[in-house]
Structure 1
Amino acid sequence: MTEVDKFTWEIPAHAHPGMRVPGIVFADRELLEKADQDNALQQVVNVASLPGIVKASLAMPDIHWGYGFPIGGVAATEVEEGVISPGGVGYDISCGVRLIKTSLSLKEAQGKLEELVDALEASIPKGLGAGGKLRLDRREMEKLLVGGAKELVALGIGWEEDLEAMEENGCYPGADPAKVSERAYQRGSGQAGTLGSGNHFLEIQVVDGVEPGAEKMGIFEDQVVIMVHSGSRGLGHQVCTDYIEVMGASLAKRGYQLPDRQLVCAPIRSREGADYISAMACAANFAMCNREALTHWIRECFQRVFKAGARELGMELLYDVSHNLAKMEEHEVDGRRLALMVHRKGATRAFPASRPEVAGRFRETGQPVIIPGDMGSYSFVLVGTEEALSKSFGSTCHGAGRALSRKAARKAVRGEELRKRLEGRGIMVRAAQMSGLAEEAPEAYKDVQEIVEICEGAGLSKRAARMRPLAVLKG
């Protein structure tokens, strides 16, 4: 491995048999060693063997081992000659984060905080098996899978202006419900508008640091904001499961020699590839609907507690961005403008203001990137950079990245003790299960501030604001 600069390391393409491109890891020396210990660097090497991959197999500083691709992995394949791999998206398709602003200062909200948390806990379904408040028949569900958050807004759930603050304006194109299995429908049924389990959360935060550009996004010091982290629930998991099986069955006829069967893939232009992309789009639209419905109920809770309308309370959506998705994008590679399928798994799109995909309201700042920390640490709003386009296909980190497995975290931490520790620091905690809380303990994650600083040092993104937690609701 070669040190390119302080925050960039290269695994040459000739270092391992089968590599078509080099591996590039954005990290400092300490994080690089940790990634090597959990086999994530080998996964960077493995991804470099995918048919049609261009430029490099990339890894963000929050890299850790995942299914096929490392979490924190980015890979772009040529649309005409390359492949799409479900492992490059992950099981929780379009798992993502959004940040909802308010006009409230901490001083204005402090006295109502416990009442607000109680209201949110009563209103937001959370946990592994939690069912939602949206009761949809099959036809209504199919409409959401095709129309995404736009369809939900048409039903009176969410605001029209939210759509401009979402990737793809809240609707991922090319969705075809016929490509979603009956089992996936069953698993997703009743889960719209639910938080889910694992690392999914709802967090009330206060802004305690702003950088140039924050004001243009309506972010100010001491502002109360709400962060939501959720995904496509059982539906997305089943879509991934189904198409890993479908593509696995066709591997032999393709003649692909893959270093890891978890990298199962299919040509983008093949029937299997096209079907997966259509089903993935359905799951992405479901995930965006999920977060939009949660936002609707969050606004209702604020209205009840603060005795004012959500618009009067300034509850605008800053941005909603996925960190498990593959998207068709155009990028310049070696002087050529190419149509690419950019896989981002545990990595976030971070486009500068110059990209046409960035909404008009962000033309002065660039696309916001919402980065959650852990329950006891800071979260961040970043913005995309021009430099990221040439270095990482306009991608940056997605969070702190795990340092301990869930099993190891449960052994190291007791959920009830963690709750008391956090509440001793003034952070209210509500959790569906104490064991689930222990899995997401602060010590289970890397230092998010260090991750953000490395991304900034590497030129992938820059800071706009920093938030600290006031209250956490965990699935």
Structure 2
Amino acid sequence: MDLKRFDRAAECEWRIAAHGAMRVPAVIFASESLMRDMDDKVFEQITNVASLPGIVTAAYAMPDAHWGYGFPIGGVAAFDPDDGGVISAGGVGFDISCGVRTLHTGVTESDVRRVQVRLADRLFARIPAGVGSTGALRFAPRELDTILAGGARWAVEQGYGRPDDLARIEERGCVADAAPDAVSDAAKRRQRDEMGTLGSGNHYLEVQVVTDTYDARLAEAFSIERGEVLVSIHCGSRGLGHQIGTDYLREMAISAKQQGITLPDRELACARIDSSLGQRYLGAMRAAINCALANRQILTHITRQVFADVIPDAALSLLYDVSHNTCKVEQHVVGGEARRVFVHRKGATRAFGPGHPDLPEALRDAGQPVLIGGSMGTASYILAGSAGAMQRSFGSACHGAGRGMSRHEAAKRWNGRSVIDELAARGILIRSLSARGVAEEAPGAYHDVGAVVDAAELAGLARKVARLEPLVCVKG
């Protein structure tokens, strides 16, 4: 990307002054090297976002930003409903509420190494993964509506997990005002067999060891120690979320002109927040968030069963669960006043700072755990949300490494079987049904997650707490 088009406001903050149709500036949080490696499309897309009606303060992109559908992946923007603000299906994404859940195990790397192959095989046998994967659970439409309204709370009530899990889940496991009746029959049909499955692409279940801690106080607050094994689950709302995105993007594109909205890009199709269409989409999107929360809760239950069989001493307690790809109604300071805004985060994670009332009491003084997934075979990170994020990015931070090349290009460059063998030689066991899928997700297809995390910290969006390396990865 050509850096001459930006004003450098700080070491990891690059600004685009409002010009043309832009209503607000655009800001990218990244180091110089990450900026140079970014696709030029990020510049185009973030400036387009800045031109949407009702946007406040600025349009933001995180250090892992790359080209997406409409919004860049890693894009954050907030809209004021009292100023004609919009809700954009492209600003949420197709994989609604894709997110990460991380669990403690209470066991060490040596405990896992002794049974590593057996653990990998059992997890792979029990956790359905891959394109079109289906699980053992089947739900009739009326039952699925209950899930879409109840989220992880429904799952816990059905015996999938523990009541104390809910305090460690964003929105305490269930988003209010979900509207299952705003979800199409086609979306529900796609989901009826997919609860308790990982899906494909960059989704995974990973057994990880803590190799480093950076802040002793925060590590203690999160109960993280070097040498401990954690488990992270990365997945979303599966076919249901994708179908909701497809359904509403089409309807928003058709209705935009009727609502007096000029779209700089058809992929930014949106609706006024207070319109009937906007409200229906919000209800459907919230139902998809609850679907994803229930899905991760079921997968947690299955994971606990596997660990109980293979490593009986393990006690899988939940550290935190946070979503990407959402739009949330939140209170933020805009122009010196607290205002109710609709915050789109697409490929970005909420990163609320210390003292925020939405955080569980046990974590409130430290700030929200920010769970950063690495690319397959590379490190992941746990960060803590900061006051800086509340001031600079509507309480948001990056969510991963960010793709550096397309899946098609990665599949041409790498051989999946070779990637699996190379990682096995490093002590990392990969389990996947698809060699091509492994090639598409090869570590080299992504940017350096360590550089992304460092940039987020330097930009004041979050603070590093711990670094994790994979031992076992069940890949979608």
Partner of 1:155: 158
| Aligned mates of 1:83, 1:257 — CA distance in 2 | 12
| Aligned mates of 1:40, 1:472 — CA distance in 2 | 30
CA shift for structure 1 position 30: 2.1
Partner of 1:127: 130
| Aligned mates of 2:323, 2:138 — CA distance in 1 | 25
Partner of 2:225: 220
| Aligned mates of 1:102, 1:79 — CA distance in 2 | 43
Partner of 2:423: 422
AA of the residue aligned to 1:2: D
* Residue 363 in structure 1 maps to residue 364 in structure 2: yes
| Aligned mates of 1:159, 1:353 — CA distance in 2 | 26
Which shows bigger deviation, 443-452 or 350-359?
350-359
1:134-157 deviations in Å (ceiling 9; x for gaps): 222222111110011101100111
Q: SS at the partner of 2:469?
A: strand
Check the 8 A contact 2:98/2:237 in 1, yes or no.
Answer: yes
Which of 193, 200, 215 is matched with 1:190 structurally?
Answer: 193
Partner of 1:202: 205
| Aligned mates of 2:251, 2:321 — CA distance in 1 | 31
CA shift for structure 1 position 38: 4.1
Which shows bigger deviation, 445-454 or 78-87?
78-87
Which of 27, 36, 45 is matched with 1:43 structurally?
Answer: 45
1:57-76 deviations in Å (ceiling 9; x for gaps): 10001000000000000000
CA shift for structure 1 position 377: 1.3
CA shift for structure 1 position 406: 0.2
Q: SS at the partner of 1:393?
A: coil
Q: SS at the partner of 1:27?
A: coil
| Aligned mates of 1:370, 1:451 — CA distance in 2 | 13
Partner of 1:64: 66
AA of the residue aligned to 1:411: K
Partner of 1:460: 461
| Aligned mates of 1:367, 1:282 — CA distance in 2 | 24
Give TM-score scaled by structure 2 length: 0.97
Shift >6 Å, 4+ stretches: none
AA of the residue aligned to 1:142: D
Partner of 1:325: 326
CA shift for structure 1 position 109: 2.3
Which of 288, 306, 310 is matched with 2:311 structurally?
Answer: 306
Which of 222, 230, 239 is matched with 1:234 structurally?
Answer: 239
Q: SS at the partner of 2:18?
A: coil
Check the 8 A contact 2:204/2:474 in 1, yes or no.
Answer: yes
| Aligned mates of 1:58, 1:185 — CA distance in 2 | 33
* Residue 96 in structure 1 maps to residue 104 in structure 2: no
Q: SS at the partner of 1:348?
A: strand
1:7-41 deviations in Å (ceiling 9; x for gaps): 00000002xx1000000000122222222x34111
| Aligned mates of 2:144, 2:262 — CA distance in 1 | 39
Check the 8 A contact 2:256/2:263 in 1, yes or no.
Answer: no
Output aligned runs, 1:70-469, within 5 Å.
Answer: 70-80=72-82, 81-210=84-213, 211-212=215-216, 213-308=218-313, 313-469=314-470
| Aligned mates of 1:415, 1:469 — CA distance in 2 | 18
Partner of 2:32: 29
| Aligned mates of 1:439, 1:198 — CA distance in 2 | 8
Q: SS at the partner of 1:437?
A: helix
Structure 1, gaps ≥5 residues long: none
| Aligned mates of 2:258, 2:63 — CA distance in 1 | 36
| Aligned mates of 1:342, 1:72 — CA distance in 2 | 13
1:449-472 deviations in Å (ceiling 9; x for gaps): 000000000000001111001111
1:40-88 deviations in Å (ceiling 9; x for gaps): 1110100000100000010001000000000000000002230000011
Please provide the CA RMSD for this pair.
Answer: 0.9
| Aligned mates of 1:57, 1:108 — CA distance in 2 | 46
Q: SS at the partner of 2:315?
A: coil
AA of the residue aligned to 2:401: A
| Aligned mates of 1:108, 1:182 — CA distance in 2 | 46
1:404-441 deviations in Å (ceiling 9; x for gaps): 10000001101011111111111111111000000000
Q: SS at the partner of 1:87?
A: coil
Partner of 1:19: 22
Give TM-score scaled by structure 1 length: 0.97
Q: SS at the partner of 1:266?
A: strand
| Aligned mates of 1:282, 1:85 — CA distance in 2 | 16
| Aligned mates of 2:136, 2:163 — CA distance in 1 | 21
AA of the residue aligned to 1:323: H
- Identity of aligned pairs, percent? 47
| Aligned mates of 1:363, 1:235 — CA distance in 2 | 33
1:225-279 deviations in Å (ceiling 9; x for gaps): 1111001000000001111111112111122122101111011111000000000
Tell me the number of residue pairs that the alignment of Structure 1 and Structure 2 aligns: 468
Q: SS at the partner of 1:88?
A: coil
Q: SS at the partner of 1:262?
A: helix
Structure 2, gaps ≥5 residues long: 1-5
AA of the residue aligned to 2:334: V
